[in-house]
């Protein structure tokens, strides 16, 4: 259980004790509610001014029991509050130092701005793919949950230049903008492009009319979760077999097939060879379903005589182990 959860429970327990004391003195001694609350607080704090004290035998017995249990809960809550404040402060100091060291070692990483439902899913996918990434989130409770999962997180405002520099935007490969509003995402895009003109920017769009603005601001790709979800649901009704195929090839948990984007780097032995000559189908059991050129042009279902060039991105379909083996060939 987190320290903050323990503190909430302790405070709730203290409130219940104060309520019981107030109601008890009101019912047993006949004091009005304000006097009963005053006597309860004085008793719990062990101040004991003596201006209010139980006259009846039942009141004295109630006070004995109340002191035994109530005072203990009172002091436990105070100690827990002090421990929580110190613990949070120490973790903040130590965490900043550790965070700075981890970020300084990062290069070619991904920055996720915002960790709501979509941001959290992206973080889990990147973690499963063993890609370096850092999350920027401003909500303290969300930050705590993210850190519990072992993700590197920076607490701060993603629209701030200082925060973006702190997470190493100048060395980052890409940035994902999934903040709550299009205006916030737009601001991050403008700032990110100013700090690192070469960075790849992926942004979420809440409104359809915002997509063009986000692209004009510098986003390389803009996606609408609602539109994608609607298309996927329509496909489930109209073309369920096709949807099954897409899910099998895109879900990382799938052990049957995997679709991967493989970049052909300088020095790769397949450069200058045709798809047939490179023997990708027979040696690796992979199907090349598309090729993306450096210019951005897509070639779907390339023919066997297509010549592989440096900078090509091959969209390969096959078993995970075969994809992994061929990725080593692509690197050279």
Q: What are the angstrom distances between the C-alpha of 113 and each of 10, 177, 185, 217, 219?
A: 34, 5, 8, 17, 14
pLDDT of residue 3: 64
Q: Is residue 235 part of a domain?
A: no
CATH for 319: 3.30.70.1450
- Asked, for residue 238, whether it belongs to a domain, the answer is no
Residues 220 and 189 in one domain: yes
Give the DSSP per-residue string, 163-229: HHHHTTGGG-SEEEE--SSHHHHHHHHHHHHHH-TT-EEEEE-SSTTHHHHHHHHT-SEEE-HHHHH
- Tell whether 47 is covered by a domain: yes
Provide the greatest CA pair distance for the chain: 103
Asked whether residue 89 falls in the same domain as residue 127, the answer is no
Strand partners, 316: 260, 288
Assess if residue 242 is contained within a domain: no
Residues 112 and 219 in one domain: yes
Helix 240-250 vs helix 225-238: crossing angle, to nearest 10: 130
With respect to residue 248, please indicate whether it lies within any of the assigned structural domains.
no
Are residue 210 and residue 266 in the same domain, yes or no? no
Same domain, 36 and 65: yes
Residue 243 lies in a domain: no
Domain boundary among 98, 129, 151: 98
Tell me the C-alpha distance between 113 and 129, whole Å: 19
Q: What is the DSSP letter of 306?
A: P
Report the length, in residues, of the chain: 332
Residues 64 and 20 in one domain: yes
CATH number at residue 54: 1.10.287.70
Angle 228-233-235 (CA atoms, 0-180°, nearest 5)?
95
Kindly state whether residue 94 falls inside one of the protein's structural domains.
yes
Same domain, yes or no: 167 and 80: no
201 and 161 inside one domain: yes
Of the residues 98, 128, 161, the one at which a domain ends? 98
Q: Is residue 9 part of a domain?
A: yes
- Say what the alpha-carbon torsion angle 171, 174, 175, 178 is, to the nearest 10 degrees: -160
pLDDT of amino acid 173: 93
258 close to 249: Cβ distance less than 8 angstroms: yes
pLDDT at 273: 92
Range(s) of the domain holding residue 61: 3-98
Per the structure, the count of domains in the chain is: 3
222 and 160 in one domain?
yes
- Give the DSSP per-residue string, 40-104: HHHHHTT---SSS---SHHHHHHHHHHHHHHHHHHHHHHHHHHHHHHHHHHHHHHHHHHHHHHHH
What local confidence, expressed as pLDDT, does residue 183 receive?
93
Q: Are residues 134 and 216 in the same domain?
A: yes
pLDDT at residue 256 in the model:
59
The CATH number of residue 151's host domain is 3.40.50.720
Same domain, 87 and 120: no
**Same domain (yes/no): 143, 213:** yes
Residues in the chain predicted with pLDDT less than 70, given as ranges, are 1-3, 48-52, 86-100, 248-257
Distance CA 114, CA 157 (A): 9
- Sequence-distant (≥ 6) Cβ neighbours of residue 76 within 8 angstroms: 10
């Amino acid at each position: 259980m987190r320290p903050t959860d323990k503190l909430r429970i302790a405070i709730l327990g203290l409130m219940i004790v104060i309520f019981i004391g107030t109601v008890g003195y009101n019912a047993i001694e006949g004091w009005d509610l304000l006097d009963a609350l005053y006597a309860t607080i004085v008793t719990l704090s062990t101040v004991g001014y003596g201006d209010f004290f139980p006259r009846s035998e039942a009141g004295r017995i109630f006070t004995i029991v109340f002191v035994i249990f109530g005072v203990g809960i009172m002091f436990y809550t105070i100690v827990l509050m002090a421990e929580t404040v110190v613990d949070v402060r120490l973790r903040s100091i130590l965490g900043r130092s550790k965070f700075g060291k981890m970020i300084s070692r990062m290069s070619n990483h991904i920055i996720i701005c915002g960790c709501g439902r979509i941001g959290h899913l992206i973080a889990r996918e990147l973690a499963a793919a063993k890609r370096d990434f850092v999350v920027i989130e401003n909500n303290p409770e969300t930050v705590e949950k993210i850190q519990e999962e072992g993700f590197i997180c920076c607490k701060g405002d993603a629209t701030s230049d200082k925060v973006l520099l702190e997470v190493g935007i100048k060395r980052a490969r890409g940035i994902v903008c999934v903040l709550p509003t299009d205006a916030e995402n737009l601001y991050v895009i403008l700032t990110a492009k100013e700090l690192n003109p070469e960075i790849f920017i992926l942004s979420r769009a809440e409104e359809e009319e915002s997509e063009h603005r986000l692209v004009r601001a510098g986003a390389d790709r803009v996606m609408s979760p609602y539109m994608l979800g609607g298309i996927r649901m329509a496909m489930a009704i109209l073309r369920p077999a096709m949807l099954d195929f897409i899910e099998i090839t895109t879900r990382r948990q799938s052990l049957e097939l995997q679709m991967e984007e493989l970049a052909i780097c300088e020095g790769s032995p397949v450069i200058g060879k045709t798809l047939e000559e490179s023997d990708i189908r027979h040696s690796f059991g992979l199907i090349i379903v598309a090729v993306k050129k450096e210019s951005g042009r897509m070639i779907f279902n390339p023919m066997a005589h297509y010549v592989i060039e440096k900078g090509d991105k091959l969209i390969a379909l096959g078993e995970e182990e075969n994809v992994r083996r061929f990725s080593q060939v692509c690197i050279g």
